[in-house]
Amino acid sequence: MKERIFVEEGYLNEKQKLTTNLPWIMKQTWSDVLFAHYPVSRKVLEMLVPTELKVDTFYQTGWVTIVPYLTSSMHLRGLPPVPGMAPYPGFNIRTYVTMNGKPGVYFFSLTAANFLAAYSAKTFFRLPYLYMDMKYKRVKDLVVFESEKKSGLQLLCNYKSISAPSHTDNGSLEEWLVERYCVYTISKKGVPLRADILHEPWLLEKAEAEFHQNTLLSTLNIKQGNEKPILHYARKAVVRFWPIARVDI
């Protein structure tokens, strides 16, 4: 079914076209974002992703990405920031899917070190959020990230940038991985849902990281092997969120 497409003023990237004419409802600022990208076979991902969604691949290879970051600010549209809501650290585990030809992200799990933020996102965006105690600090250029172990998930790592920032090249793996402007999930009744998001194109920097404890892939029964992840770092992104809505098939 052909969907209506809308463009938010000030954004001209073809990938940033919206599928709704509703106003955005929430804005967040993400800081010190690490992307750790792991190649995973399509067959493995097809066993993990709901059948209503199509696993997206880059030259026949699927990818899973671990993303620790700091939510440094957040507020609802037309309202000031809620005291005590931010800053807080969190991480997510995601893969890449399409529906009706629109590429997006599917989250296996998301965490937040703020109970209200985790509860609100789980309730209003139907996303698999988990409240978890986490610690975040900067030591000069180094980001130190530590989480407790909960539901089998634990992430202890540190990371830093090792290059100047730059936009991704058209057609590159980096562009394919990060330039996605919607989130997909499935309701309890098996209905596909989508929430549009919008931000300026990512400015990525090459990164170094040490993972002292990382159980995130093993909770999905994904074998990491000896291959090291592709690492990217982003200093900041201001992200707007639209209401989640049913996707007409």
Residue 22, in any domain of the structure: no
Lowest mean pLDDT among 82-86, 96-100, 197-201: 82-86
The arithmetic mean of pLDDT across residues 221-247, rounded, is: 93
CA distance 159 to 217: 18
63 conformational bin, left if phi > 0, alpha if psi -120 to 50, beta if neither: beta
What 3-state class would DSSP assign to 238? strand
Residue 205, in any domain of the structure: yes
Q: Is the CB of residue 62 less than 8 Å from the CB of residue 45?
A: yes
Helix count (H) and strand count (E) of the chain? 3, 15
DSSP H or E segment with residue 121: helix 115-124
Looking at the structure of the chain, the number of domains it has is 1
Write down the pLDDT at residue 13.
66
Residue 4, in any domain of the structure: no
Residue 238, in any domain of the structure: yes
Residue 14, in any domain of the structure: no
In the chain, the percentage of residues whose pLDDT exceeds 70 is 94
Over the stretch 136-169, which tens digit does the pLDDT of each residue have? 999 999 999 999 999 999 999 999 999 999 999 9
Domain that holds residue 104: 28-242
Residue 77, in any domain of the structure: yes
Q: Is the CB of residue 127 less than 8 Å from the CB of residue 205?
A: no
Band of pLDDT at residue 86, cut at 50, 70 and 90: confident
CATH code of residue 72: 2.40.400.10
Residue 16, in any domain of the structure: no
Provide the residue type at 164 as one letter: A
